[in-house]
Structure 1
Amino acid sequence: MQILLAEDDNDIRLILKATIENLGHVCLTAEDGIKAWGIYQAKGADVVISDWLMPGMNGLELCKLIREYSNSQGLTRTKVSLPGHVYTYFIFLTALDDSAHLQEGIEAGADDYLTKPLKIQELTFRLRVAARIMGLYQKMTGQAYELERLNANLSLEVRRDALTGLHNRLRLTEDLETIKASLKRYGQPSYAAIMMDIDNFKQFNDTYGHQAGDEALKITAQQLLANIRKEDTAYRYGGEEFLIILPHQSGQKALRVAEKLRQIIERLQISHPQNLPSGILTISTGVAELTPNNPWTLEEWLDAADQALYQAKQTGRNRTSLYR
């Protein structure tokens, strides 16, 4: 363990340092509470052994500061990260062997105490107890962080489509709520929605089987992710249907993005004999823009994109259409 020793008596400090190091621990030393506090902030400690009476800052004040610091560090570590010195085992070293002082120390956050004159065997026992408790604490902390990490990963997984890796309808619902709040707070910047669908996908599945169909969905999703901006978000909307939301993008610009994506899928030249006249796998896309002058609700906006997609399908498929 790393032990910080705060003791203003030089002889006692040297003896304790040698004893602690002989027991196999690292020992940092300070001759008063102020220096001990600086060392603790810079290097941390598993255990602090502090004299009660010291110039500048006494042991009680040091203990309170360390507890406040530990608590604040614990709060900042609520997101997944590597555990650090969130908790420190605190031992008072004092000649004040009376219940009033001991109670005051415990209430300040101390875990144990040693009385002067100090017996080496007593120090050894106290450090063994500290090592056992800190070991249990670190194990518990590690398990808590691992659980938090797993929960964070699970939270991401339930918002992703398992097959394509795109965001799913649950994530879309949450994102629409975020957009709604943003529109209410900041007004309506331009948003564009691209709704797209693989042409004659049922026939593709019937011809090649569901495994090939799944592969086609994954390839399409990969191309979407590779060819949109970081601020754009792609979703698997359902079956063979995909949705892309583009913030701060006009309908005309989104139309160009949709056309680019259509051409990219077409150039893959994936065989699909039932998809005439091309005989290859293609997509149709519909685009709708949400602007300050447009009174649509978010649901109506997505429905408009879906209607534009339907228009593209009705006019021959493998097309891009803008809702007007």
Structure 2
Amino acid sequence: MQDASMTILLVEHQQGAQTGLARELTRHGHTVLEAGTAREALALFLTQRPDLLILDVVLPGEDGYWLARQVRDAEGSRWTPIIFLSAQDHELSLWEGIEAGGDDYLIKPISPVVLRAKLHALRRLLNMRNQLIAATEELRAANERLSHLSFVDDLTGLGNRRAFNERLHTQLGQCRREHKPLTLILCDVDHFKRFNDSIGHVEGDQCLQNISRLLRLVCRRPTDFVARYGGEEFGIILPNTPKAGAMTFARALQSLVRTRGLPHPDSPVAEHVTLSGGITTVMPDDDTTVQSLIMRADEALYTAKVQGRNRFFSFEMQLDTTEHLQQGLWAVNSGLGKLTEV
């Protein structure tokens, strides 16, 4: 039974021996690349990446041990079997070959039966290695898919609560180090329960998916992040965004939602789906925490709902000259489309 074909780099400076060995390898179905010096062989190895090297110890210029070491340095994580050829049958030569990176040894003159047995064994090792690599790659891909799914909301395709918390923690630390403002927005669909009760949960799911697409449209910067925080509530993280930028963002979002005009059959606010949102903008210091940001954004969201919904409130934090925390509330009314203080 013939072994699977391999590409074999044969390095032999004696032309007669090279020709005979190449003929034998070809007869068993292998593709043979030939080189007479170590440097020529190294160039072939780097460009052709053969499955196996068979190389003489004695070569013009650098010897076979040098070539083996160069191959091991260049191949990275990919293992290429190396069989040394030598007329010297003693333990020191064998040890030096193994130390240089060789895997096996053939003593000249080479027996065709022994050669084929060696090739068969190495082919089997290569097959097992390839199977292990394939299994490892499948496991890595599966782990990546699992990791991705653990951070993604199934319904909307946005980040989930876990992804939101991790991203907020990361961006808080980065904005703190870079002395840049950070804006957090919590918003939800107004009277979403009445939406579901009036036309059903299937349409409710489609509504959340439509809102998710709109949120993606307004989160244009690579660092902006939007997640489904829970139920009909969404979280938006805007690094390096001051209060004015946050208000501009909120106006753009409200305008987009109003223009889209997704019907809401049982809303006391408008004939279309609307959003209420709470915004907090901070210049993070050592006392700023993820929990405090979420709490303030949630308080602003609650205020927006109390004030009649279909609007965004901003809860700004900044230090005055006495280093006491000042709190300011600002509102964006989607009907008026302008900034008003409350």
TM over 0.5: yes
Distance 2:17 2:182 in 1: 71
Determine helix, strand or coil for the equivalent of 2:262. Answer: coil
Determine helix, strand or coil for the equivalent of 1:17. Answer: helix
**Pair 21,182 (structure 1): closer, same or farther in 2 beyond 3 Å:** same
Distance 2:173 2:102 in 1: 47
Match of residue 86, structure 2, among 94, 111, 123: 94
Letter of the aligned partner of 1:282 in structure 2? Answer: T
Distance 1:130 1:268 in 2: 65
Deviations 1:191-227 (A, max 9, x none): 2112111001111122222222222111111221133
Match of 2:36 in 1: 31
Distance 1:279 1:223 in 2: 18
Match of 2:196 in 1: 205
Distance 1:17 1:226 in 2: 63
Letter of the aligned partner of 2:280 in structure 1? Answer: A
Letter of the aligned partner of 1:158 in structure 2? Answer: S
Match of 1:137 in 2: 129
Matched, 1:268 2:260: yes
Letter of the aligned partner of 1:222 in structure 2? Answer: R
Deviations 1:264-306 (A, max 9, x none): 2233333323211313211112222122589633322232222
Match of 1:254 in 2: 246
Instruction: Give every structure 1 segment of 4 or more consecutive aligned residues whose post-TM-superposition deviation is greater than 6 Å.
Output: none
Output aligned runs, 1:61-72, within 5 Å.
61-70=66-75
Pairwise CA distance, 1:99: 2.2
CA contact (8 A) 1:262 1:285 kept: no
Pairwise CA distance, 1:126: 2.0
Determine helix, strand or coil for the equivalent of 2:266. Answer: coil
Matched, 1:281 2:273: yes
Match of residue 215, structure 1, among 206, 221, 226: 206
Pairwise CA distance, 1:148: 0.7
Determine helix, strand or coil for the equivalent of 1:236. Answer: strand
Pairwise CA distance, 1:183: 4.0
Matched, 1:121 2:113: yes
Distance 2:243 2:294 in 1: 13
CA contact (8 A) 2:277 2:311 kept: yes
Deviations 1:146-168 (A, max 9, x none): 11111112111101111111111
Letter of the aligned partner of 2:209 in structure 1? Answer: K
Determine helix, strand or coil for the equivalent of 1:124. Answer: helix
**Pair 226,105 (structure 1): closer, same or farther in 2 beyond 3 Å:** same
Report the TM-score, using the length of structure 1 for normalisation: 0.88
Determine helix, strand or coil for the equivalent of 2:155. Answer: coil
Letter of the aligned partner of 2:68 in structure 1? Answer: C
Match of 2:163 in 1: 171
The structure carrying a bigger strand percent of its residues is 2
Distance 1:240 1:101 in 2: 74
Match of 2:218 in 1: 227
Distance 2:244 2:302 in 1: 18
Letter of the aligned partner of 1:18 in structure 2? Answer: R
Distance 2:62 2:226 in 1: 58
Match of 1:11 in 2: 16
CA contact (8 A) 1:187 1:292 kept: no
Distance 2:120 2:293 in 1: 66
Determine helix, strand or coil for the equivalent of 1:309. Answer: helix
Deviations 1:246-265 (A, max 9, x none): 11112211221122222222
Match of 2:300 in 1: 308
**Pair 296,177 (structure 1): closer, same or farther in 2 beyond 3 Å:** closer
Match of 1:83 in 2: none
Letter of the aligned partner of 2:273 in structure 1? Answer: L
**Pair 181,61 (structure 1): closer, same or farther in 2 beyond 3 Å:** farther
Distance 1:25 1:293 in 2: 67
The structure carrying a bigger helix percent of its residues is 1
Aligned residues: 310
Letter of the aligned partner of 2:227 in structure 1? Answer: Y
Deviations 1:97-133 (A, max 9, x none): 1123223323433222211012233322222222222
Unmatched tracts of structure 1, length 5 or more: 75-85
Pairwise CA distance, 1:63: 2.0
CA contact (8 A) 1:204 1:213 kept: yes
CA contact (8 A) 2:189 2:273 kept: yes
Pairwise CA distance, 1:50: 1.0
